[in-house]
Amino acid sequence: MSLARTVAWNSGVQVGGRLVGLLASLFFNALLIRHLGIATFGQFTAASVYVGLFMILGESGLYLVSVRRAMQEPELRGRILGTALGLRLLWTCIPLGLAFAIAQCIPVQRFPTYQPVVKLVIGIVALNEYIRLLSQFLTAVFRMHLRMDLAVIGEVGSRLVALAGILLVVHAGGGLVSVALAFLAANAVNLAYAWVMAQRLEGLRPQLHRPVVGGLLRESVVVAGVLVLSLLRLQVGTFLLSLLRPAEDVGVYGVAIKVHEVLVTFPGLFIALLYPVLSRLASEDAAKLRHTFQRTFDVMVLAGVAVGLEIVVLAPHITAVLGETRATLPLRILALSLPSVFVGMSFSHLLLAEGRQAIILRLYSCLALASLAANALLIPHYSYVAVATTSAVMETLVLLSLCTYWWRRGMQVQLRVLWAVPLAAAIGSGLLLLERSVLPSEALTLPARVAVLLVAGTLAFALFLGAAWRCGLVQTALWRSLLPGSARGAAVR
């Protein structure tokens, strides 16, 4: 099977699994918001974001560095992956344990969101993140072998376990702690499954091979800096919101950010699958690297614009189904940043594949400070709208900066696909006007909202895809190369 068809198959499997996960997430988040109330849901969001600030330190860049080295040094793959697994088992305990310890010192009188029950939930969420990080590392094995169908089975299974747990919590009238334990059980199931499947492909065993340890740690320090600053840029606003505004505001923004976080995993799945390929081409074939990246760029632009269009049009119905219509505005603002997120992820992973982490480190340092200052200044006055706006602006600045760098490097990318942006804007404007003139939004029942989501979502996607195809933005040759048995597939091997 050609590289294009293999990547397409694995991407399609991941997207299918993620769509199932998205539907499950929407369902159990809607249950949680209605069961816990928006203020208590805000406390759960605050606990998750707080642990997230430490979680990236636990990741420490080992995943990206070990995957790149394993692909570029296949004769040492077993030692590299085994040592990276050993390091993760040991190192990840430190920042997540630190997260729990520091949380106990947060004064409740000064920051009322962090009640004692929230501090307990932080401990459960920290353990949950430890398990999730181990599962994420094992997923690297599936990606290197292009067997993401195995990973999807585990992810979908864990979602179903989480959904069953949430239903049980709602039925029993459980609170925050019960909710956190339900997610913990789901991730534990996924870890057990991933470990069994990964052993069949790679035969992993934790080890600490000294020469490999030194090399991984030296490279991981810079990557860890990139990831920490990226996290600060993306999540510091939500954390400041939990400190400076009531838990109810955190809950409102939590509804928007939960949807947004699920959506940005789609480009993450695609680029993570291509990352080992980019890493290999970066050291072997510069011409083929450019060719592969051009197709990646085209796909990411079209996907980012399409998903952004869908959310802008459907945001009122999504938030109504979830149970908090005040989240519509921040969700739409975040949706405007989706094209930048999709494309920026491609450019940044290309830099990581070349081992140029220091460039991203400098860029993210500047933007993390800017995000921190903007949020601290604006949150007291504009609450969650300030967080969403700052996030969207920062994502746009990241993309512009990375594009400027690659333009100076001589990476000539064809930009015809950017016509998708005004095309989507025109389609979105027309659909919004049609909706306002036809649908009495306030009077819609919950089943009607779900029906509108299905019909309007399908219509928006069909209109955009058809118009993009008609305008020549979707390359027929590319899609033909993805079909099994296509003679053109060999061209992209």
Cβ partners under 8 Å of residue 156, min gap 6: 17, 20, 21
HSE, CB side, 13 Å, CA atoms: give it for residue 318: 25
pLDDT tens sequence across 147-169: 777 888 888 888 888 888 999 99
How far apart are the C-alpha atoms of 9 and 14, rounded to whole Å?
A: 9
Does residue 486 have a pLDDT over 50?
no
Q: What is the pLDDT at residue 245?
A: 92
3-state secondary structure of 471: coil
pLDDT at 489: 38
Q: What is the pLDDT of residue 431?
A: 82
Residue 492 pLDDT class (50, 70, 90 cuts): very low
Stretch 69-85: mean pLDDT: 77
**Single-letter amino acid code for the residue at 352:** L
Q: Which range has the worst mean pLDDT, 129-133, 218-222, 371-375?
A: 218-222
- pLDDT classification of 369: cutoffs 50, 70, 90: confident
DSSP string, 141-154: HHHHTT-HHHHHHH
User: What is the model's pLDDT at position 9?
Assistant: 61
For residues 300 and 324, give the distance between their C-alpha atoms in angstroms, rounded to a whole number.
Answer: 30
Residue 17's CB: how many other CB atoms inside 10 A?
Answer: 21
Q: Kindly report, residue by residue over 418-458, the tens digit of the pLDDT.
A: 889 999 999 988 888 877 776 655 666 777 777 878 888 88
pLDDT at 205 over 90: no
Q: Each residue of 7-34: pLDDT tens digit? A: 566 666 666 766 777 777 778 788 888 8
Provide the pLDDT for residue 192: 92
Chain segment 94-121, per-residue pLDDT in tens: 888 888 999 999 998 888 889 999 999 9
Using 50, 70 and 90 to split pLDDT, how confident is the model at 61?
Answer: low
Report the residue count for the chain: 493
Does the pLDDT at position 285 exceed 70? yes
The pLDDT value given to residue 327: 94
Q: What mean pLDDT value characterizes the chain?
A: 81
Under the banding of pLDDT at 50, 70 and 90, the label for residue 122 is very high
- Give the tens place of pLDDT for each residue, 321-335: 888 889 999 999 999
pLDDT value of residue 202: 78
Q: Are 394 and 371 in contact (CB under 8 A)?
A: yes
Comparing C-alpha atoms, which of 268, 266, 270, 256 is closest to residue 311?
Answer: 256
pLDDT at 361 over 80: no
d(CA 32, CA 176): 10
Q: What is the pLDDT of residue 270?
A: 74
Query: Is residue 56 scored above 80 in pLDDT?
Result: no
pLDDT score at 59: 63
Q: Which residue has the tokens 């000064």?
A: 110
Over residues 203-209, mean pLDDT: 78
- Rounded Cα distance between 122 and 104, Å, is 9
Q: Which of 140, 454, 149 is nearest to 314 (CA)?
A: 454
**Helix 38-59 / helix 247-284 crossing angle, nearest 10 deg:** 30
Please report which confidence band the pLDDT of residue 485 belongs to, taking 50, 70 and 90 as the band edges: very low
Sign of the torsion formed by the C-alpha atoms of 141, 146, 149 and 155: positive
Domain definitions of the chain by residue range: 3-485
For residue 288, count other CB atoms closer than 10 A to its CB. 15
Q: What is the per-residue pLDDT for 441?
A: 56
